[in-house]
Amino acid sequence: GEDVEQSLFLSVREGDSSVINCTYTDSSSTYLYWYKQEPGAGLQLLTYIFSNMDMKQDQRLTVLLNKKDKHLSLRIADTQTGDSAIYFCAENQAGTALIFGKGTTLSVSS
């Protein structure tokens, strides 16, 4: 099947904004998700957006959704060293199970 695409790496300085991009495949996905995985741990749901929304803001996190281009982005404002992790976007194709991208490794330097 088609893949959920993400860039593999992003490196930013502490205090800068981080933007992680994702291209998904199924225009009928009801929700789109961002998960965070810290080293040696499982994935945690970070935030999500309902498909009829264009933007969702949650403290330092902003999710933008462009349904026409099937493009999803996650912006982290004032990035901290504790934000260093792997970030996965995911969609629920045809209501079965989530399909994940390969993950973007965010590295934050002080």
Site of interaction with other proteins (CB under 8 A): 30-31, 33, 35, 41-45, 48, 88, 92, 95-103
Least distance in angstroms from the C-beta of 21 to other proteins: 15
Query: In sequence order, what are the residues at sequence separation of 6 or more whose Cβ sits closer than 8 angstroms to the Cβ of residue 31?
Result: 48, 49, 50, 51, 91, 92
Least distance in angstroms from the C-beta of 99 to other proteins: 8
- Of 9, 53, 49, 15, nearest to 32 by C-alpha is 49
Residues 46 and 34: beta-carbon distance below 8 Å:
yes
Q: Which is nearer to other proteins, 1 or 82 (CB)?
A: 1
Q: Which is nearer to other proteins, 14 or 61 (CB)?
A: 61
Q: Which is nearer to other proteins, 14 or 93 (CB)?
A: 93
Q: Which is nearer to other proteins, 28 or 57 (CB)?
A: 28
User: Percentage helix, strand, coil, to 5, in the chain?
Assistant: 5, 55, 40
At residue 42, what are phi and psi to the nearest 5 degrees? -80, 180
Least distance in angstroms from the C-beta of 58 to other proteins: 14
Least distance in angstroms from the C-beta of 54 to other proteins: 18
